[in-house]
Amino acid sequence: MTDATLDHVFDVTEQNFEADVLNASLDTPVLVDFWATWCGPCKTLGPLLEQLAAEYKGAFRLGKVDVDKNQQLATMFGIRSVPTVVLVKDGQIADGFAGALPLGQLREFLERHVQALEGETEEVELPAETPEAAINRLQQAIAAEPDRAELKLDLATALAQAGHSDAAASELDALPANLATDARAVRLRHQLELARSLKDAPAQAELEQRIAANPADWEARDLLGVRLLLGNDPGTGLEQFLAILEKARDWNDGAAKKRLIAAFATLDDAELVSRYRRRMTSLLF
């Protein structure tokens, strides 16, 4: 913790709560972090809150409550799990949340309630969270709050990003029915299916050579399309599937149509999807 952070972070006890939280919040909002030394997600959330306290430079203060040492405060706030964060403003609870949120969501939470001091904020760039770090954070959060099923979908996504396809698929299979059909879950299933098709597949250069030698090598076109789709050239990947659809619609039990539908579900570029969906339709009907 830096000296700048220390200026805006303090320990809350039952003795100083009224003066340093309730009364102080009449002038400056106080974010109260209920934590415990044994809590894994607390170790992730705490440093992020301290960083934001330093960034806001006094627009809010961060009070830290060790629930094991201040059980009366935890009971008064109805704390059922840690970490739990409560925003106290004008002497009253204004908002709060439970669990270890990522930095972006913490910023959004603060922006709803805290007016940054003009010219005072200085956003500190943090390295992007790696998939492995996200996996660790989410596993700790799930251990603390096993009933939050949405965390398991987040974990499946992080596992897929880290290349752990089988583990990601297992998490997806274990989702409750209401989340199994969630758009993110459907998208991830398609991504995993596409990625699995590349197991033991030739490299891109070899596939391109096969197509140059035989334009009707539909298997090579199919695998090249998947490689390009999951790489940095999705448009060219879609072209491979369209080529199969046009010349060999029934190849491999209509694989080209299935690839296109899966691709549309995974792509973020709405214009690209719309354009190629129209081309697919024109070939089918």
In 10 A of CB 258, how many CB atoms? 14
- In this prediction, residue 128 carries a pLDDT of 61
In 10 A of CB 177, how many CB atoms? 6
Per-residue pLDDT of the chain (285 residues; tens, 9 = 90+): 444 446 789 999 999 999 999 999 999 999 999 999 998 889 889 989 998 998 888 899 999 999 999 999 998 888 888 999 999 998 888 888 888 888 888 988 898 888 765 444 444 454 567 778 888 888 888 888 788 778 888 888 888 888 888 899 999 998 888 888 888 888 899 989 998 899 899 999 999 999 999 999 999 999 999 999 988 899 999 999 999 999 999 999 999 999 999 999 888 888 999 999 999 999 988
Residue 33, helix vs strand vs coil: strand
Nearest-CA neighbor of 62 among 38, 83, 93, 34?
34
- In this prediction, residue 141 carries a pLDDT of 84
DSSP one-letter code for 20: I
- In this prediction, residue 127 carries a pLDDT of 57
- Cα-based torsion angle of the residue sequence 110, 101, 50, 31 in order, rounded to the nearest 10 degrees: 50
Residues known to be catalytic: 39, 42
For residue 221, give Cα distances in angstroms to 155, 279, 281: 33, 18, 20
Residues 6+ apart with CB under 8 A from 235: 272, 276
């080529």: which residue's tokens?
Answer: 243
- In this prediction, residue 117 carries a pLDDT of 52
Tokens standing for residue 192 = 């995993």
**What is the separation of C-alpha 236 from the centre of its chain, rounded to a whole number of angstroms?**
28
Tokens standing for residue 142 = 């799930």
Could you tell me the pTM of the whole model?
A: 0.53
């039952």: which residue's tokens?
Answer: 14
pLDDT tens digits, 188-212: 999 899 988 998 999 999 999 999 9
The Cα–Cα gap between 135 and 173 comes to: 17
- In this prediction, residue 187 carries a pLDDT of 87
| Pairing of β 84-89 and β 92-98 | antiparallel
